[in-house]
Structure 1
């Protein structure tokens, strides 16, 4: 590279280093450049580069390096319990010091470990002791309290000997028992017809809740229901759902109830502030509202934003609270005294006169609504805006939160602006009854009202909006409120105010019919009562039957009366003698077929009686093969033909067995005796073939008794008298023809009869052949004496009878068991 190229390269480097900023340039000489180069070289090549870099870094951060150096020099190592440095053996002093400190450290460490172990043991000892006390407390709670804890209570010993006929403990609580007594009285009053009309169950239950129930909230629920049910009585031909949605009675009842309750609240506030209220004059709503407003707006800050305030008396709160108390005339009087809003005053006077005034003054209504829509929506006085909304029944979307202090206030406001028609004037939306119900049930629902913790409040809101079915179904979900819900449903249904499904008891507890307006639902009262009564029907059947009587107008899924179906199920589950006497009474001493007394005899009706119920239960038991119990019911019902068939069926099963204590065969003797007495009176009411079959089976019952008691002569006489088995081969066809007229029950017993007869003949054959007779076996002597035959002739006669039995078994047009035929042939062969 020559000098010219070096110069050009230096110029290019110089141009690159030029900056755009207008700063003065520094021109260095050759000596200055040499000096800077040497300084840089000394910095790079000298030792201690790290120290220089550290000084440079700390200096750039503003650290005072000389002062830092002095502080580092003044620092000294602090004494600690760290491992000591080893010393040489020659340093005796250092060695002793080191050993002394090591001994101290070891003692400290050992002491720390001992303290930790002691604390751990104490902790677990306390935990185990606490667990032991808890276990002892639990065990003591299982064995019962100590006598010294309750000195005034006598210790009662539990008997270890059970009663012969123990009675189960009632499953009804005290509240349920009180309700059941009222239902029993109501049914007896209704059945006896005392007074000419049915008592009001809601009134009865409300008085009961006020006197007997300790919970004030339950009393409040009954009071709400009683007030809402105080409408014109209905008949069962009117649909309660449609009537409730089309008539304004329920809306008016709810408003009146809320207004009455608010008047009580106002009186309470006034009594607590008598000195401020300055109550006087005639005791009416006008003076009460004046005193209440004086108490409520006594402070100056409470008047902020209110319009038309005269002498610390705001006008619109006076008007609003008059309407809230249900007195439109008091509100009119306040407006007259103030001389404000003449159009509103004129319209309120027209409303006070009657409903037709509203329809005939549509122009005035339109002007007021336009004024409200244009001016009052942003009014600073919430009471004035609320008064206009109530009088004009408009603007349902404004919650009026400034004056809504409770659910009652909100509900009353909604009921006040509610319209029963569908008119829409000046495009101002109006609230309908079904719209209010949907708002409460669907829009807000259980979560908004905290229904799980405030079930009574949610029930009152639903009841005041005419949703009885949803309110009762909600109460019935919890075990505590279920008794109240059931009896509320019963009381409303007896007044024809409860909507029930039309399609029977198979519907769910709360169901919807397609033709019903939304959000109305129907309550399955039959299912609710059955679910409730099933809980105690086994321990308190009398009370359960009284509840089932309330279902007499319902039909089951198979078209039968629901009351009969429920009682039939009750008797099927428990059909002992006590239950039969409770329901049907006891048989008459003179006529065992007639029963007197019993709960069912208290229910007079044109559709059914106790005989019908007994026959219904007997049929169901017979279908379940419980023949013995079904016979009892058929006796009560007077169905002798069915009784005969069941007795014959049972006899066919046990007639050939030996009689044992407590067996079915032994119990049948009492039934047969009762049947014989009944046939003596009503034999013409029974089929002749059934009677013949029954009588023959009773003869066979006696035959087998003689057979098992070793009385062959008497046993054979029964067979001969009834022509059931042949005496000789010539009688086989006659006996077979006779069997064809018998029922299937006799055919079922025939194999056992043939075997028993063959065994008797064989025993006589053996006895005659061996030449020995006993005092009981006189059949052989009778045969020889009566016929004048010798011994050989008698043996031939017995062989002929045995052959006749074998031929009959082969001739009957029924399939005989193979073992029977085989046994008959074997015995016949043994006689040859």
Structure 2
């Protein structure tokens, strides 16, 4: 067959395809009355894309359309559009032929949407066919679909695996389909963080062994709840348990987090303990924790040093400072009231006892600690909320 004959045959085929699509159309063949007949006509004239799209419009035949498309796609017989965001069937206006392009990715995602929430493993089987396609942002389409599937179903452990107590990862469903599961987990973690689901993102980054990101997010979350009173199943309670689990595992197994984020996490954990004692009414132990942390000056001589040290704390610690100052001042006020109501012959509640010089000495000692805190608050290169300063001064007045 010479070149002219080939061109003539191609031209003839294009004419037949054009006649079937635009002249006779579905109605001529009774498409919806005899769907398989019209499907065969399109298939036999090599209009695979139009054939699949037609069959997919009929609910009871959509599954057949999808599986035919899978076979054609694997045989590299489908014409695909440039973007996965285009309509299911499109035609390039600059192309003189009647050939259409089938949005194979959209077809798969439309089909799996009906059962992905109840059978995520089955949906993964179909998404795997998209492994060589890209999104409009250049991302791997399979990985992108897996990320959406995880966020939609919240089947984190079943799909991505979970961390065991020894720090190893128990495989999830994606391990069957993809060698680079680490990259998928990282993508899901980033998407989760972008959607504001920070608590889930912490667990996913932990699963992906992105330790510094775990510490960074965990510090931000803890700083928002550290001063709150705890209650079972509260956000603070969940984050506290998660933080202690991460800190214990990282201390035992090692990690790759920065020193700044690591030290911030451990300080926040100590502050959780401080506020736990405080809200339980255990003022003595709460104040003892604060003394051990050496975060605040409790003598006038230490004020300047603590102000200088404050510059080195992260924003997460600085954010907690107003509540820390108020809680510590409240503890001192509590000690002052208890001492005022104690007889001169009885031991004074606090670090100093009656043997150390009596009640007046202790009251002066409490006042000096409160005065140091007021000086510290005034010298900080950090603007405290107006109501915090007002309440600090108000408590100091009560001590005098």
TM range (shorter): over 0.9
Q: 1:483 to 1:510 in 2, by over 3 A?
A: same
Q: Which residue, out of 42, 47, 51, partners 1:462?
A: 42
Q: Which residue, out of 457, 480, 484, partners 2:64?
A: 484
Name the structure 1 match of 2:8.
422
Assess if the C-alpha contact under 8 Å between 2:186 and 2:204 holds in 1: yes
In the aligned structure 2, how far is the partner of 1:631 from the partner of 1:494?
38
Name the structure 2 match of 1:600.
174
Task: State which structure, 1 or 2, has the greater radius of gyration over its C-alpha atoms.
Answer: 1
* Alignment pair present for 1:830 and 2:389: no
* Alignment pair present for 1:717 and 2:288: yes
Q: How does 1:44-55 map to 2 (within 5 A)?
A: none
In the aligned structure 2, how far is the partner of 1:450 from the partner of 1:439?
16
Q: 1:431 to 1:612 in 2, by over 3 A?
A: closer
Name the structure 2 match of 1:679.
250
In the aligned structure 2, how far is the partner of 1:738 from the partner of 1:538?
51
SS in 1 for 2:352: helix
Q: 1:588 to 1:700 in 2, by over 3 A?
A: closer
In the aligned structure 1, how far is the partner of 2:384 from the partner of 2:207?
38
Q: How does 1:286-685 map to 2 (within 5 A)?
A: 420-422=6-8, 432-501=12-81, 503-513=82-92, 516=95, 518-575=97-154, 579-589=155-165, 591-592=166-167, 594-605=168-179, 608-609=180-181, 611-681=182-252, 683=254, 685=256
Once the two structures are superposed, what CA deviation does each residue of 1:675-708 show, in whole Å capped at 9, x if it has no partner?
Answer: 1233224545111111111111111100011112
Assess if the C-alpha contact under 8 Å between 1:588 and 1:596 holds in 2: yes
SS in 1 for 2:130: coil
Once the two structures are superposed, what CA deviation does each residue of 1:394-424 show, in whole Å capped at 9, x if it has no partner?
Answer: xxxxxxxxxxxxxxxxxxxxxxxxx63339x
Q: 1:779 to 1:768 in 2, by over 3 A?
A: closer
In the aligned structure 2, how far is the partner of 1:507 from the partner of 1:772?
84
Give the drift of 1:480: 1.4
Q: Which residue, out of 768, 771, 786, partners 2:339?
A: 768
SS in 2 for 1:481: helix
In the aligned structure 2, how far is the partner of 1:676 from the partner of 1:817?
31
In the aligned structure 2, how far is the partner of 1:496 from the partner of 1:461?
20
Assess if the C-alpha contact under 8 Å between 1:634 and 1:642 holds in 2: yes
In the aligned structure 2, how far is the partner of 1:421 from the partner of 1:769?
107
Give the drift of 1:825: 0.5
In the aligned structure 1, how far is the partner of 2:374 from the partner of 2:46?
84
Assess if the C-alpha contact under 8 Å between 2:244 and 2:269 holds in 1: no
Q: 1:604 to 1:827 in 2, by over 3 A?
A: closer
Give the drift of 1:662: 1.2
In the aligned structure 2, how far is the partner of 1:581 from the partner of 1:526?
26
* Alignment pair present for 1:689 and 2:269: no
Give the drift of 1:817: 1.3
Once the two structures are superposed, what CA deviation does each residue of 1:193-228 show, in whole Å capped at 9, x if it has no partner?
Answer: xxxxxxxxxxxxxxxxxxxxxxxxxxxxxxxxxxxx
SS in 2 for 1:420: helix
SS in 2 for 1:507: coil
RMSD: 2.4
In the aligned structure 1, how far is the partner of 2:307 from the partner of 2:196?
31
Assess if the C-alpha contact under 8 Å between 1:420 and 1:432 holds in 2: no
Once the two structures are superposed, what CA deviation does each residue of 1:488-531 show, in whole Å capped at 9, x if it has no partner?
Answer: 01111111111112x12012111224675501111110110011
In the aligned structure 2, how far is the partner of 1:432 from the partner of 1:778?
107
Q: 1:538 to 1:768 in 2, by over 3 A?
A: same
Give the drift of 1:656: 1.2
In the aligned structure 2, how far is the partner of 1:811 from the partner of 1:478?
74
Name the structure 2 match of 1:384.
none
Once the two structures are overlaid, the 10-residue window that deviates more, 481-490 or 735-744, is 735-744
Assess if the C-alpha contact under 8 Å between 1:572 and 1:621 holds in 2: yes
Assess if the C-alpha contact under 8 Å between 2:133 and 2:140 holds in 1: yes
Assess if the C-alpha contact under 8 Å between 2:277 and 2:283 holds in 1: yes
TM-score (ref. length: structure 2): 0.93
SS in 2 for 1:555: coil
Unpaired runs of at least 5, structure 2: none
In the aligned structure 2, how far is the partner of 1:738 from the partner of 1:683?
27
Q: How does 1:148-227 map to 2 (within 5 A)?
A: none
Aligned residues: 399
In the aligned structure 2, how far is the partner of 1:524 from the partner of 1:737?
62
In the aligned structure 2, how far is the partner of 1:706 from the partner of 1:512?
69
Name the structure 1 match of 2:370.
802
In the aligned structure 1, how far is the partner of 2:204 from the partner of 2:68?
36
Q: How does 1:57-206 map to 2 (within 5 A)?
A: none
* Alignment pair present for 1:819 and 2:387: yes
Name the structure 2 match of 1:277.
none
SS in 2 for 1:422: helix
Name the structure 2 match of 1:393.
none
Assess if the C-alpha contact under 8 Å between 1:651 and 1:697 holds in 2: yes
Once the two structures are superposed, what CA deviation does each residue of 1:572-591 show, in whole Å capped at 9, x if it has no partner?
Answer: 1221xxx22321234335x2
Q: 1:779 to 1:551 in 2, by over 3 A?
A: farther
In the aligned structure 1, how far is the partner of 2:252 from the partner of 2:78?
51
SS in 1 for 2:297: coil
Unpaired runs of at least 5, structure 1: 1-354, 360-418, 424-429
Once the two structures are superposed, what CA deviation does each residue of 1:256-295 show, in whole Å capped at 9, x if it has no partner?
Answer: xxxxxxxxxxxxxxxxxxxxxxxxxxxxxxxxxxxxxxxx
Assess if the C-alpha contact under 8 Å between 1:644 and 1:691 holds in 2: yes
Give the drift of 1:718: 1.7
Q: Which residue, out of 772, 779, 783, partners 2:352?
A: 783
